[in-house]
Amino acid sequence: MKVTKDESAVRQVTLTVALDSEDLEPFLDRAFRRNRNRVSIPGFRPGKAPRRIVETFLGREALVRDSLDYIVQESLDKAISDEGLDIFGQPDVEVVDVDPVSFKATVPLEPVIQLGDLHQIDVAREPVEITEEQVGKVLESLRYNAAPWEPAERPVQFGDLVTLDVEGTIAGRQVANDQGVDFLPAQDNPYPFPGFSVYLEGLAEGQSKQFTLKVPEDYQDDSIAGEDCTFDVKVLQIKTKNLPDLDDEFAKGIEEGYESLEALKVSVRENLTEEATRYAEREFQESTLEKVISEASIEISDTTTEREIDHILEEQARGQQGSDASVEDYLANLGKSREESREELRTSAVERLSRFLVIRKLAQDENLEVDPEEVDSEIDRMATGAGAGSEAILRAFSSEDARSSIRTVLLTRKVLERLTQIVEGTESTESGLEDSDVQEAASELEDEDAQDASAAASAGSEETKETTPSNG
């Protein structure tokens, strides 16, 4: 077997492999043994014809083609091993000739990542400040939620709950016909079309009205976008909320039961501070990671980037049109060519790959791993929190793909925590998984090819999949 190597591309090698008759011999012998019972040759019982007869009967090229996949795969594996290549995903193969067999393989190599001095990373933490206005908004929300809907003896106002009969027509064609539908009119409510709520304001119970609205040009249904829609509405019922006074009695009636309004305010402020602190920590970690990525030297093969673009395009198609959607149908709906869409996604692909590779590098450098017991513990915690739905959670996370999603989130969390410790010069501490991270893991499972694992998935490396980090 003769192998020539072209190393001119970045982190990518092109191998040209040519096999001679001696190299093909074991493959042809295996092809003969696979096929001898499948052919009927006059003068021989099934499976008893010698190889030279079977080869003459079928033709040598037929046996070669029957073995081509084996020939290419095994020869390529040997060439990669002999050359000592550290590959990143599956090679792209082009068969040049069949007899004698020759092929070209574009082999993406493991990317090279060089991180900057992490101790010199300087990212400012945003201070956590909770204003009286924020506390007031929560209290108003509590008042609103505590108040029941009651009949209103007056015309419609914004914020009411209005029950309507609604018919909509465009050029005489009915596009809406809803009976007894509940609607919350608001000045900025864009549904069903902008301005609909404005025409309801001031209508009395039992009153009808006809009005015309223009459908937005960017409306999701192209067939009616930009058209005039005539609505006939009738107000069946008007309800409003009479909000309780914001006092000690109100605070005592809240589900948790507070001693006073002041105690409720203190609790609201504490909860807002805790939430804001978690958010600020995530923002700080993300900003720090972005800084590390921007200062890192990353060499990735073109093949790896192109595959990531394909993967993102497939993700978008599935996200918009379902798991069975084709990229071609998705692009047709967008009115874009594959080339145009791929160019638009190139920057995103490089960013996703860079993020994945830097997080993986940090995990390797800091010897961070996720044990199976940690994954089990997190799944058990989620199941316990689900109560009656615990069995469904356990089933959902029983597959290796599901466990990998949890492992990915746990590993990413460890990396971000460790990165924060390095940048700030603090001691390592143990920490559990944030609820937001768990929710992210659950959402990843709704899509077979989780976006956060896309870089590894497109590379096709099982080892890589094990260490693929989450995108947040």
Q: If DSSP codes are grouped into helix, strand and coil, which group holds residue 228?
A: strand
> Percentage of the chain with pLDDT > 90?
78
- CB atoms near residue 391 (< 10 Å): 10
Distance CA 8, CA 297 (A): 19
Amino acid at 444: E
Q: Which domains does the chain have, with CATH numbers?
A: 2-110 (3.30.70.1050), 148-241 (3.10.50.40), 300-466 (1.10.3120)
Task: Report the run of H or E that residue 159 belongs to, with start and end.
Answer: none
Q: Tens digit of pLDDT for each residue in 240-266?
A: 999 999 999 999 999 889 999 999 999
Say what the pLDDT of residue 36 is: 87
Q: Compute the average pLDDT of residues 22-30.
A: 94
Q: Which residues contact 194 (CB under 8 A, 6 or more apart)?
A: 213, 216
For the cut 50, the answer to whether the pLDDT of residue 467 exceeds it is no
For the cut 90, the answer to whether the pLDDT of residue 78 exceeds it is yes
Say what the pLDDT of residue 248 is: 97
Closest CA to 99 of 76, 129, 140, 71: 71
Q: Tens digit of pLDDT for each residue in 297-340?
A: 999 999 999 999 999 999 999 888 777 778 998 898 888 999 99
Three-state DSSP string of 234-265 = EEEEEEEECCCCCCHHHHHHCCCCCCCHHHHH
Q: Compute the average pLDDT of residues 154-165.
A: 98
Least confident of 11-25, 41-55, 70-84: 41-55
Cis peptide before 100 (omega within 30 of 0): yes
Buried b (16+ CB within 10 A) or exposed e, 213-252: bebeeebeeeebeebebebebbbebbebbeeeebeeebbe
* Angle (nearest 5°) at CA 24 between 20 and 29: 155
CA distances from 393 to 385, 386, 396, 445, 452 (A): 10, 7, 5, 11, 21
Q: How many CA atoms lie within 13 A of 26 on its CB side?
A: 6
Please give the mean pLDDT across all residues of the chain: 89
Are the beta carbons of 414 and 370 closer than 8 angstroms? yes
Say what the pLDDT of residue 427 is: 52
Question: Crossing angle, helix 21-35 and helix 51-58, to 10 degrees?
Answer: 90
Cα maximum dimension of the chain: 104
Residue-by-residue DSSP string for 293-339: HHTSEEE--HHHHHHHHHHHHHHHHHHHH-TT--HHHHHHHHT--HH
Say what the pLDDT of residue 29 is: 93
- CB atoms near residue 38 (< 10 Å): 10
Distance CA 247, CA 104 (A): 79
Distance CA 188, CA 210 (A): 20
For the cut 90, the answer to whether the pLDDT of residue 446 exceeds it is no
Strand 161-170 and strand 173-183: the pairing is: antiparallel
Q: Compute the average pLDDT of residues 411-421.
A: 96
Say what the pLDDT of residue 459 is: 43
Are the beta carbons of 162 and 181 closer than 8 angstroms? no
CA distances from 47 to 25, 53, 55, 107 (A): 20, 11, 13, 40
Say what the pLDDT of residue 198 is: 97
Q: What is the pTM of this model?
A: 0.76
Taking the C-alpha atoms of 142, 146, 151 and 154 in order, what is their torsion angle to the nearest 10 degrees?
A: -20
91: DSSP letter? P
Q: The tokens of 378 are what?
A: 């997190």
Buried b (16+ CB within 10 A) or exposed e, 401-437: ebbbbbbbbbbbbbbbbbbbebbeeeeeeeeebeeeb
Least confident of 117-121, 354-358, 392-396, 426-430: 426-430
Q: Compute the average pLDDT of residues 70-86.
A: 97
Say what the pLDDT of residue 431 is: 43
Is residue 304 exposed (0-12), middle (13-18) or buried (19+ Cβ within 10 Å)? buried
Distance CA 459, CA 310 (A): 11
